[in-house]
Each structure stands twice: as structure tokens, then as C-alpha cells.
Amino acid sequence: MTPYSPITGDIRKQIVEGLGAERIVSDPGRLKDYEEDASGLRYAPELVVEAESVAHIQTLLALANRYRFPVIPRGGGTGLAGGCLAASGGVILSLAGMNQIRSIDPANLLAEVEPGVITATFREKVREKRLFYPPDPAGMDKSTLGGNAATNAGGPACVKYGTTRDYVLGLEVVLPDGNLIRTGVKTRKGVVGYDLTHLIVGSEGTLGVITALYLKLIPSPQDVACLAAVFKDLRTGLSAVSEIMGRGHLPSAVEFMDPKCLALVGDLLPFRIPGENATLLIIETDGIREQIAKEIEAIGNVCLEIGATHLLPAPDRESRARIWDVRRQVSLRIHESTPIYMAEDIVVPISRIASLVDALPAFEKAYDLRIYAFGHAGDGNIHLNFTAAAREDAERMLKGVVEVFKLVIEMEGTISGEHGIGEAKKQFLPMELPRESIRIQKAIKEAFDPNLILNPGKIFI
Amino acid sequence: MTPYSPITGDIRKQIVEGLGAERIVSDPGRLKDYEEDASGLRYAPELVVEAESVAHIQTLLALANRYRFPVIPRGGGTGLAGGCLAASGGVILSLAGMNQIRSIDPANLLAEVEPGVITATFREKVREKRLFYPPDPAGMDKSTLGGNAATNAGGPACVKYGTTRDYVLGLEVVLPDGNLIRTGVKTRKGVVGYDLTHLIVGSEGTLGVITALYLKLIPSPQDVACLAAVFKDLRTGLSAVSEIMGRGHLPSAVEFMDPKCLALVGDLLPFRIPGENATLLIIETDGIREQIAKEIEAIGNVCLEIGATHLLPAPDRESRARIWDVRRQVSLRIHESTPIYMAEDIVVPISRIASLVDALPAFEKAYDLRIYAFGHAGDGNIHLNFTAAAREDAERMLKGVVEVFKLVIEMEGTISGEHGIGEAKKQFLPMELPRESIRIQKAIKEAFDPNLILNPGKIFI
């Protein structure tokens, strides 16, 4: 296949003619924003366009196919895997401006939105109608619904409610060849042809440009109850998680942080941490007010029974916000504490979390690293933040990451629970996926995008 | 492409040599079973093999690719769309004998099963461990988990719990080229490469042969509460459904039957039906015992408030079984009442159910048919049973079906909620899917199966 063309003066001129000069970003400050996401990677695109219509996207893709240059769809730029970066050059296609909520339909528990709608804004708008859109990725104040679908974003609520995939009923998508299709249904069910919707969800912008989403909503839970619990060590804390879920409780969040994380944020708690091995759980339940008040009490009792040293109930909005701030501060303080870090988000079966975390000190020693573990104990999705003393340690750190990934795969886990592969992790893909699986996935990519112009080089090497 | 080869004596000999003579079905009575499913269609296969291992499947597919003959995977044969029939000739590949439950893992809420495990058996086995596998297709006493995944089977519990798709975390699949791959994860989350799992779920045996499934389980609800409610007419009954769900209740089943259905089974109820327009709802909730007792009472009160003429509570297992028997008798009595029928399973947005059912008499009159409507009011999935006076009316009936499908699509609905397309509905696929969507789906099929040997001719014309 011919190599990618640079964006020549002539191509640029045709893009300007086709889309309008006002669609091209030229302000240097704003251009800088498009060089990065939350992965730490950085690539300067050759051109950035901000689409406002399907026609803009189709015009751009027609030119990309004619001259063969990469087009990289982008939402809020909050991704952690570099999926929206111009790693092979080409044109960044921002969808952030297509941000209308077309409809919220309480009778049918359905919404139709454009891809640039901010996740948190949407959650707020549906809440006003006493409805609920559960996916709550950490970056939701900036992330877009289109980007969430492209990466199948998760969040703490997954343990009860599932990931973005579970709320996308259908899509409007511009295929790489420029054709606009609708996938899926506007109803709760449907089995008509292949499930293109769920193939495109999580495909990280490589199979099509999402121009609208039909989202499933559910009735809003009346209220939320929250508590934090401290345990003398991680195994005890995690056995409380098993016990809580084993008794039939299904919390709407079950977060944990390991002793290293807790030591970083212990000053935010209203009591002294009981020793250097102490670990913290944050548990929420949602539903009908009286029921969840009883349920969180029962969960608190299980924690005490298993050996919690401190319980911190959060009966109101303010105390709940304070607990979640402790959780949020973990990432920030890890990043402040180190000149270099890699944020991984592996998943292991719930019963293996403790074994995995117990195994980390050996890797820390062998590769001279610090590895912080926190995240979603309820579904086994652990954020591992690898840090080292100096920027020069990057190569050694990477070796440590690879060894930890090997252990995760041995434990029947996966190397990414919610961040995706994008650019940052594609070198590791063959560790998890067999050759034949990658082959068939590449064949699907070629069926959608014979000229390989849409977000090329992502996911697969 | 060369046409399909018949199963010549030589091919048959090679299959016998490769798989063993004991894997070939030759008993005429048993062969008859493989000619049909629950669609009413009938095609005699050239050969039937019952696989017991991945190697049997790989050997058969290698021969199919070499000589180009169709291979049609089959589970319990309970499908309603003819998806497992040998409509283009070739070899039926029965997976019913691969029926081991490899593991049920309560700690990780996960099971690993072979495709031939009977759905109801599996549900019972996990219940013994206080776990729950929600999908409950009507044919579950005979259907297999592999077949359920291939057709993305639904059932009454979908309204609360989703379809089979939502419980398949990963698959082991023999691709049409004979390669065995694993897709997805054994964990609750994962975004590593394209979502092949959910592409294969619902693909009706056209993209691969499922040889194992990793299924998500949830904690078993403690108990179930049930009631039936009769309303003077359908609109009143359906407005009760909206009101129940609008108040934040999420029942585990919300079934309805229209006046024609109710008239067929009214003798099974312990009271007289209030008039010829009367309609019936069956509602269940599941969860913690005390909570659902209160909830079903609240739901009953909503029904009375909206205008239910009779409530029939079902506080125990026996009375619950009696109510569900009324529901089950509907299909049986429809089929007994007519020499010819077509069972469709359209979906419309919940708010349009009443309008759709109201529109049916005009179609009945125009095409001289009777159309019975019943099914899943909670998610808009309506079983429409078309019947006529004589076998010769088939062509006219088909015209009526097409006109109703047009209305369903106008209402932003879909022509199949849970039965799939298979052989029976492929002529209607272009009514719902745009040309470009079908084109990309066929391209996916060719990427998986370049010789088009696996269940060819299904879904797409």
C-alpha cells in the first residue's frame, strides 16, 4: 500500500474549501491541546479540524481516502492510552463541537445525543428528569459520550451497572468510506444482523466516526449511601468485599486503596491509620432511601465482623464528597510524588486481587520501582501506578510493567479493564491475544477501512 | 466462487475417518429431528455429525473448506428462525453432546461451560450455589447455552436483567478456517482489542462454532413475588406498566396479553373476564424477601389506582406456577386453534405498544387474518402470532406480516427482539437495515469465512 501522504498545501486547501476556514484550528495555544491526552504521550498533528456536521466528516474522509492521510477522531482528549493522538501524523477530527442532546425520552428510557456531549453534563440533565445514566469514568467532567463509547469507558459504578457498552443501544456512524449508517436499535432489545454497535463500541475510533448515540437510561435511584472502612491489612479488607457480595449485597461502588496509597492520603482522614499495612475500602449503595440506609448499616456490620478497625459513615452529600475526595487525591499525590509514572489498569478475578497486590513488592525490589495499587475491588479492576526515582528509569519501569502483565495474564486477568490499548499499550497486545485473534481483528479493520485511513496504527502493531 | 459440493461418498468417507463412525447420526428417527427447529421450516441435511471435541469440529471444517460444503452448527434446535437448518444442504454439526459444566466459581461469579449445556439445567446448578444466571428464553428446558449465545436469546427477565449478550464475558470459538481462539475475558471488565465476543453473540452460527462460554453470574435473589392484574382494556393495562416503571420499580418480568389471547385462556382464571376488551398483566419482582413483599403490594396498588378490575396475587410457588401456566398456554392454544401461523417477535418503543396493538384490527381485516399479541410489555418486545383459516392463506398472511413490519419500523422499532433472522426472516432484513450496513456485515462475514462454508445463506440473502 502507498505510504501516507503528508498534509500538503493542496490537501489543506481542499479541506478548507470543503469544510470552511472556520473549522480549521490555527490558534497555537489551542493546537497544543490537541497534541496530548491523559496518557503522557505527545504527538503534534499536521492539522486539526472541528467538525459540526456529518457532511464535514464525510468530506474529510473522502479526501483522506483520495490522498491517503490519517484521520484521528477525538472527543474530550481525556483518554489514558493515546487513542486520540496523531501518532502517524494526519488530521485530528474533533467531535467536541457536535454536542447537542437531541432528546431525552422518559417514557421509553432512552436518549439520543451527539458525540461531543460532556458525560457529566448528560448525567446531570437526565437526573433532572429522575433518570440515571450510570457510566461514571473518572474524567467525566471533561470526557465526551462519543469518546466514552469509543473506549468503552468504565468507572466505579461498573460493579453494579456495567460499562458504557451496556448503555449504548445504537449508533449513527460515518464509516471510513464515508457512508453514514445506523447500527442497533432505539428499543431495549434487537437481534437483526450482526451487532455492529458493540463491535464499534471499544474500537477506539478505528472502525468509524460516531456521530450520534442512542443511550439506554434507567430510573434514577432515590438516594445513595456511603461509608469508608479501614482494615489492618489488605487481605482482611478484600475478604470483607467477598463477604459483602457473598451475602447478596450489590453495592454501586466498591473501591479500595493499598497501604502505600493510604499512607499518601492518610492526613485527610479524621483518625490515625492503624499501622503501615492498613488499607481502605469505600462502599456505596443506591436505591430506595429506607432500604439503602439499612443496607449500608448491614455492610458496615460485615466490615466490623471481618475486622475493620474504623468505620467512617457518610450519611450526607458533604461527608460523601469528602470520602470521594480522599480517593481522588490518591492519583494526584502519586503524580506529584514522582518525576515519572505509568498508569495501568489491569483486571484480575476478584479472588486474585490480594495475591496480585501481595506479589508487587518483589517486582518493586527487582526493578527498583514503587507500585501503587487502588481501584475497583468489586470487579477486580486495579489501577497500578508505576513510579520511579528519575525520568531515566523509564526503560527499567517498562520491564517491570511487562513482568506484572505476565503475572496478570497467568492469573486469567486482562491488561486493560477500561482505558483501552490505543497507542500506549499496543506493544503489549500480543501478550494477551493469540495471533489468530489479532489476525481476524485486522481483517475486520480492513473490511471497514481498506485504505487504513481512520486512526491507523492504533490497537494493533 | 465454485458452488457447494454435495456430500459425496468420498467426502462422507473422509468425515467418518476423521471423526469416527460413532459420531455420524444414521438412525432415521433421530435424523428426522435434525430436519426442523421451532420455525415450522423443514430441510433435510445431507449428513449429521455429533461433535464431542474441538478436534472433531476442526477436522470437519478443514474438509468443508477443502471441498466447499456447508456446515451448520446446532444446539437444542429450539430456534424460531430456522438458523440451525440445512437450507443450503451440507452437514449439521450438533454441539449438544459437548455439555459439560466445566466450573462454577462463586468467588468470582463466573462459570465456564460447554455449548451443549441445557439452559434450565445450568440455571438450576448455579441456583444450588445461591447464584443466578438470568436469561430465561421460553424454550430453556431444551435450548442450549451455545444456541442462546448464537441467537442472543431473551426472555421475560430481560426487562430487569438484559439478554444473553449481557452474561457472556468470553468465548472459545473455532473460526471457519479451523483456528481455535479465545475471545473476551474471564473477568468482569476488559477492553483489549475489538469486542469479538459480542460480535459472535447473535451472529447465529455464521462467524464461528462456539466450543466454550465464560458466563457472568450474579448473586441469587432471595425470593420472587408475582401478581396478575386484569384491566378493562389494553391501553389501561399498558398505562399501568408506564406508571409502575415511572415510579422507579424495576420488575423482573412484565408480561401482557391482548384481549384475543386472554379470551383463549380466560377459563384458566378464577374469575370471569370483564368484557371482550379485557387485558392481562403478569408482574414479578425479585430480591430480598421483605422488600419484594412490600414492592409487589405497591405495584398492586398502582394497578388498582390505574383501574385494574381484578388482582390475582401469587404469594407462593404453586400459585406463581399457575399464573405462568396461563401465559404458556397462550402459545399452545393459538397453535391448536389454527392450521397455519407465523410467530413474529417485533419490538417497539414501550410508549408505542398500545398504538401498535390498536392498529392490528385494520391489518386483520385487510388480509383476513387473526393477529394475537402478547409478550414482554416491560421492554416493548411483542410476540405477534399471525394465523389464518387455511394453509392456502400463507401468501396473504406474508403480505400482512410485511405491512405490520413496515409500521413497526416507522415506529422506530425492530423486526426481531430475540428470535433472530436465520432463514425465516432474511427476506425482511433489507426493510430494517440500510444497504451500507448489510454491505459491511457481509464484508465481516467474508473476513471470517472466505469460503462461506459456515451456516451460509443465513441472515443475509
pLDDT digits (tens, 9 = 90+) for B306-321: 999 999 999 889 999 9
Q: Is the minimum CB–CB distance between A171 and chain B shorter than 8 Å?
A: no
Residue type, B219: P
Our CA-based measurement puts residue A25 at a distance from the nearest CA of chain B, in whole angstroms, of: 31
CA distance B86 to B25: 15
Mean pLDDT for B70-98 is 97
Residue among A449, A442, A418, A429 nearest A201 (CA): A418
Q: Nine-digit cell at B196?
A: 469479538
Structure confidence at residue B321 (pLDDT): 94
Q: Cβ–Cβ of B189/A417 closer than 8 Å? A: yes
Q: Pick from B415, B434, B440: which is nearest to A447 by CB? A: B440
Is residue A275 packed enough to be buried (19+ CB in 10 Å), middle (13-18) or exposed (0-12)?
exposed
Burial A107-132 (b: 16+ CB within 10 A, else e): ebbbbbbbbbbbbeebbebbeeeebb
Phi, psi of B381, deg, nearest 5: -90, 105
Our CA-based measurement puts residue B397 at a distance from the nearest CA of chain A, in whole angstroms, of: 22
Instruction: Answer for the pair A203, B194: CB distance below 8 angstroms, yes or no.
Output: yes
Lowest mean pLDDT among A49-58, A90-99, A397-406, B183-192: B183-192
Instruction: Answer for the pair A348, A411: CB distance below 8 angstroms, yes or no.
Output: yes
Query: Cell numbers 449428513 correspond to what residue?
Result: B47
Structure confidence at residue B448 (pLDDT): 97
With cut-offs at 50, 70 and 90, classify the pLDDT of residue A290.
Answer: confident
Residues of A in contact with B379 (CB under 8 A): 187-189
Q: Is the minimum CB–CB distance between B427 and chain A shorter than 8 Å?
A: no
- For residue B353, give Cα distances in angstroms to B239, B241, B335, B367, B374: 10, 11, 23, 21, 10
Interface test with B, best of A440, A445, A448 (most B CBs within 10 A): A440
Q: Pick from B201, B380, B415: which is nearest to A188 by CB? A: B380
Residue among A295, A329, A330, A328 nearest A313 (CA): A295
Three-class DSSP category at A131: strand
Structure confidence at residue B402 (pLDDT): 97
Judging by DSSP bridges, how do beta strands A340-347 and A381-388 pair with one another? antiparallel
Residue among A264, A251, A274, A266 nearest A376 (CA): A251
Residue of A nearest to B220 (CA): A248
Q: Nine-digit cell at A391?
A: 525520568
Give the DSSP per-residue string, A32-85. HHTTB-SSS-B---SEEEE--SHHHHHHHHHHHHHHT--EEEESSS--SS-TTS
Percent of chain A whose predicted confidence (pLDDT) is above 90 = 86
Q: Nine-digit cell at A461?
A: 502493531
Instruction: Answer for the pair B90, B46: CB distance below 8 angstroms, yes or no.
Output: yes
CA distance A256 to A330: 11
Q: Is the minimum CB–CB distance between A219 and chain B shorter than 8 Å?
A: yes
pLDDT digits (tens, 9 = 90+) for B30-41: 899 999 999 989
With cut-offs at 50, 70 and 90, classify the pLDDT of residue B45.
Answer: very high
Q: Pick from A158, A218, A448: which is nearest to B189 by CB? A: A158
Q: Cβ–Cβ of A202/B191 closer than 8 Å? A: yes
CA distance B160 to B155: 11
With cut-offs at 50, 70 and 90, classify the pLDDT of residue A420.
Answer: very high
Q: Is the minimum CB–CB distance between B245 and chain A shorter than 8 Å?
A: yes
pLDDT tops 90 at residue A249: no
Q: pTM for this one? A: 0.95
Q: Is the minimum CB–CB distance between A391 and chain B shorter than 8 Å?
A: no
- The span from the first CA to the last CA of chain A, in angstroms, equals 16
CA distance A445 to A432: 19
Chain B residues 263-302 with CB within 8 Å of chain A: 288, 291
CA distance A243 to A351: 11
Instruction: Answer for the pair B161, B252: CB distance below 8 angstroms, yes or no.
Output: yes
Mean pLDDT for B424-448 is 96
pLDDT digits (tens, 9 = 90+) for A299-330: 999 999 999 999 999 988 999 999 999 999 99
Percent of chain B whose predicted confidence (pLDDT) is above 90 = 86
Q: Nine-digit cell at B38?
A: 421451532
Q: Is the minimum CB–CB distance between A9 and chain B shorter than 8 Å?
A: no
Instruction: Give the angle subtended at the CA of B92 by the CAs of B88 and B95, to the nearest 5°.
Output: 145
Taking every pair of Cα atoms in chain B, the longest distance, rounded to a whole number of angstroms, is 72
pLDDT tops 90 at residue A78: yes
**DSSP single-letter state for residue B210:** E
Mean pLDDT of chain A: 94
Instruction: Answer for the pair A160, A175: CB distance below 8 angstroms, yes or no.
Output: no
Q: Nine-digit cell at A204?
A: 477506539
Residue B145: left if φ>0, alpha if ψ -120 to 50, beta else—which one?
alpha
Give the DSSP per-residue string, B249-308. ---SEEEEE-HHHHHHHGGGSSS--SSTT-EEEEEEEEESHHHHHHHHHHHHHHHHHHTE
Q: Cβ–Cβ of A441/B194 closer than 8 Å? A: yes
Cα four-point dihedral sign B451, B456, B458, B461: positive
Q: Is the minimum CB–CB distance between A166 and chain B shorter than 8 Å?
A: yes
Burial A193-216 (b: 16+ CB within 10 A, else e): bbbbbbbbbbbbbbbbbbbbbbbb
Instruction: Answer for the pair B170, B149: CB distance below 8 angstroms, yes or no.
Output: no
Structure confidence at residue A114 (pLDDT): 98
Mean pLDDT for B278-296 is 91
CA distance A256 to B328: 47
Residue among A128, A119, A10 nearest A63 (CA): A10
Q: Is the minimum CB–CB distance between B411 and chain A shorter than 8 Å?
A: no
Q: Is the minimum CB–CB distance between A315 and chain B shorter than 8 Å?
A: no
pLDDT tops 90 at residue A427: yes
Residue among B138, B59, B52 nearest B98 (CA): B52
Residues of A in contact with B246 (CB under 8 A): 106, 219
- For residue B106, give Cα distances in angstroms to A115, B102, B122, B287: 39, 13, 14, 18
CA distance B199 to B181: 14
With cut-offs at 50, 70 and 90, classify the pLDDT of residue B271.
Answer: confident
Can you give A98-120 as a three-state secondary structure string? CCCEEEEEHHHCEEEECCCCEHH
Q: How many helices (H) and strands (E) does chain A have?
A: 15, 17
Residues of B in contact with A380 (CB under 8 A): 108, 187-189
Residue among B349, B345, B285 nearest B314 (CA): B285
Structure confidence at residue B253 (pLDDT): 95
CA distance B384 to B373: 5
Q: B109: Cβ–Cβ under 8 A, 6 or more apart, which residues?
A: A245, A350, B131, B188, B216, B217, B218, B219
CA distance A372 to A338: 12
Mean pLDDT for A386-407 is 95
With cut-offs at 50, 70 and 90, classify the pLDDT of residue B187.
Answer: confident
Structure confidence at residue A26 (pLDDT): 86
Q: Cβ–Cβ of B187/A414 closer than 8 Å? A: yes
Mean pLDDT for A241-264 is 91
Interface test with A, best of B187, B235, B289, B458 (most A CBs within 10 A): B187
With cut-offs at 50, 70 and 90, classify the pLDDT of residue B52.
Answer: very high
Instruction: Answer for the pair B28, B48: CB distance below 8 angstroms, yes or no.
Output: no
Query: Cell numbers 487504513 correspond to what residue?
Result: A452
pLDDT tops 90 at residue A23: yes
Structure confidence at residue B248 (pLDDT): 77
Instruction: Answer for the pair B220, B131: CB distance below 8 angstroms, yes or no.
Output: yes
Number of Cβ atoms within 10 Å of the Cβ of B365: 9
Query: Cell numbers 468467588 correspond to what residue?
Result: B107
pLDDT digits (tens, 9 = 90+) for B213-264: 999 999 888 899 999 999 999 999 999 998 898 787 889 999 999 999 999 9
